[in-house]
Amino acid sequence: MADNGRKAETVTLTIDGREVTVPKGTSLLHAAESVGTEVPHYCYHPGLTAPAQCRICLVEVEGAPKLQPSCVTMAADGQVVHTDSPAAKRMRQGVLEFYLVNHPLDCPICDMSGECKLQDYVFDEGRERGRGREPKRVFGRDDFGGDVLYYGDRCVMCTRCVRFMDEVARDSRLTVVERGSRAVIDTFFDRGLEGASFAGNVVDICPVGALVSKDFLHKARAWDLDHTPSICPNCSHGCNIELHTRDNLVQRLKPRENQEVNGHWMCDYGRANYEWLNRPGRLEAPATGRGSDRRTADWKEALELLFGRLAAAEGDVALVGSARCSNEALAGLGALGDEMRGRTAQRVFRAPRAADEVPLPGFPLLVRRRDLVPNAHGAGLLGFQRCGDDGGEGGLDEVAAHGEVIIVLGDDLADQDGDFGANASLFVYLGTFESAAAGNADFVLPITTFAEEDGSFVNAQERVQRFQQGLRPPESARPAWLVLGALVAALRGEKTPDSAPEAFARLVAAHPAFEGLSWEAVGDAGVALGAEAAHG
């Protein structure tokens, strides 16, 4: 769009009797949305081009000879639009009836049931009973490879999936085969979607249950799932996602729209890696003592003991953080190091790195980054240095042999053996899972994963983004910002932070890189570091 310094032009039109002013170039569908009217649509998707082929978004425009597809008709001055006139309604009912000619109506066994647009629209406006007498044509299902299954009978031929692969993934692997009622979506010969990096998005954009995820197949009903806004934990791009949870287990990850970060999309790698959040074998209770002296304690007892040891500890401190931890937790660990009497000798984290980045050609902002952890940038900003190799292993030899104070946060030390920290005068392990290397720890404190707490990450674009609690943690696990915040507060003689926003406020006060940020300003969409200061 050419912008010659003029004010953005607007047009004023009437939709369903209500006057609305929208920028020039807005489609009728979006204009109607701004007055709260959802015009049914299948082929139109805000992230794709609009071919206007599904014919269900037709609306009546006064003066036009025929009904107009609202997804491609641009709003014009003085237009009078009726989305709910008898003509528009009759047309929608007719179009829906055509969609149901061959639709199997197998909602009870369809994974999309409950979030299906065909179901919604037919329930709203469709006929109560079908009039079809002929048998429906049957295709059965087709394995498209990767994580995608195709049920041809349910398909409404909106071609969103074909257009996604053509326009956004720029990897034309899907096409429409045959014509008329025999038309199906198919792959080319024996080459399917396997190996494609963003193909999982076709499942999200399918308005009906034609494309379903193999991983999610028959796992849960859509209406049983709780949706929690979160951040993808699988690379440092930090795609905005929703955790879909049931029975305190993550069932799937879905992208959440954020045009600054990931648009409507997310990568298949991020989508598939959530099982670690459901892994059993979590640390259940705080424990004190090494080896055979190990016994469980309650939090009060453990923290009081630990506080006494920390306040008395003299030697140098080695801090091992993790880029899977929130900013608040890492800042708390750093602050604890600062408050101790000894010098902070080491302040490191380890993170696995992929060999290369995987960009999404049609939406260049979205890149599967090399760092396969969510908060590598946050850890860097908070003063932690990366160590170890690209597998996220090694690099801890110096820490392992450290003779004084070692504090490990969130790193499960999977590659370390039972000698880790054997010489340490004080070894504190804050983690989520049991670890062989924590055998020498004087204190083992269970903390929550990112899905079980509120907090924030900094992504590779240096953007601070918040995530929310979606799961109930094991009974005794506490957020790391709370545990570390309590210790720091006790050493400083101040009040313990009682919430994640409070912990974030303390982080902002202590770290100039975060200057000017507030929990509210970060909001659900996140905010770029430095942007706030520039505006303010």
Catalog residues that contact another protein under the rule CB under 8 A: 107-109, 113, 141, 217-219, 221, 223-224
* Complex with another protein: residue 63 or 108, whichever CB lies closer: 108
Q: How far is the CB of 281 from another protein (least distance, A)?
A: 22
* Complex with another protein: residue 189 or 223, whichever CB lies closer: 223
* Complex with another protein: residue 109 or 311, whichever CB lies closer: 109
Q: What tokens appear for 194 in the block?
A: 């396997």
Contact 149, 212 (CB under 8 A): yes
Contact 174, 165 (CB under 8 A): yes
How far apart, in whole angstroms, are the C-alpha atoms of residue 285 and residue 290?
A: 15
Q: How far is the CB of 111 from another protein (least distance, A)?
A: 9
At 287, which helix (H) or strand (E)? strand 287-288
Q: How far is the CB of 223 from another protein (least distance, A)?
A: 7
Backbone conformation region of residue 344, classed left if phi is above 0, alpha if psi is from -120 to 50, else beta: beta
**In 3-state terms, the chain is what percent helix, strand and coil (to 5)?**
30, 25, 50
* Complex with another protein: residue 221 or 227, whichever CB lies closer: 221
* Complex with another protein: residue 71 or 225, whichever CB lies closer: 225
* Complex with another protein: residue 108 or 280, whichever CB lies closer: 108
Name which of 181, 90, 165, 172 is nearest 127 in CA terms.
90
Q: How far is the CB of 157 from another protein (least distance, A)?
A: 23
Q: How far is the CB of 142 from another protein (least distance, A)?
A: 12
Q: Helical H runs in 340-393?
A: 376-381
* Complex with another protein: residue 113 or 175, whichever CB lies closer: 113
Q: How far is the CB of 235 from another protein (least distance, A)?
A: 31
Q: How far is the CB of 155 from another protein (least distance, A)?
A: 18
| Concatenated DSSP letters of 166-212 | IIIS----EEEES-GGG-EEEEBTTB-STT-SSTTHHHHH-SSSSEE
* Complex with another protein: residue 107 or 490, whichever CB lies closer: 107
Contact 34, 10 (CB under 8 A): no
How far apart, in whole angstroms, are the C-alpha atoms of residue 386 and residue 376?
A: 8
Q: How far is the CB of 276 from another protein (least distance, A)?
A: 22
* Complex with another protein: residue 130 or 530, whichever CB lies closer: 130
* Complex with another protein: residue 123 or 223, whichever CB lies closer: 223
Q: How far is the CB of 35 from another protein (least distance, A)?
A: 34
* Complex with another protein: residue 40 or 209, whichever CB lies closer: 209
| Concatenated DSSP letters of 38-102 | PPP-SS--TTS-----S--SEEEETT-SS-EETTTSBP-TT-EEESSSHHHHHHHHHHHHHHTTS
CB burial of 187-207 (b: ≥16 within 10 Å; e: otherwise) equals beeeebbeebebbbbbbbbbb
Q: Which long-range contacts (CB under 8 A, 24 or more apart) does 259-263 make?
A: 260/365, 260/461, 260/463, 260/525, 260/526, 260/528, 261/237, 261/365, 261/366, 261/459, 261/461, 261/463, 261/465, 261/526, 262/237, 262/363, 262/365, 262/366, 263/47, 263/363, 263/365, 263/366
Q: How far is the CB of 8 from another protein (least distance, A)?
A: 47
Q: How far is the CB of 219 from another protein (least distance, A)?
A: 7
How far apart, in whole angstroms, are the C-alpha atoms of residue 505 and residue 293?
A: 39
Contact 200, 268 (CB under 8 A): yes
Contact 301, 263 (CB under 8 A): no
* Complex with another protein: residue 170 or 221, whichever CB lies closer: 221
Q: What tokens appear for 536 in the block?
A: 């303010």
Q: How far is the CB of 121 from another protein (least distance, A)?
A: 20
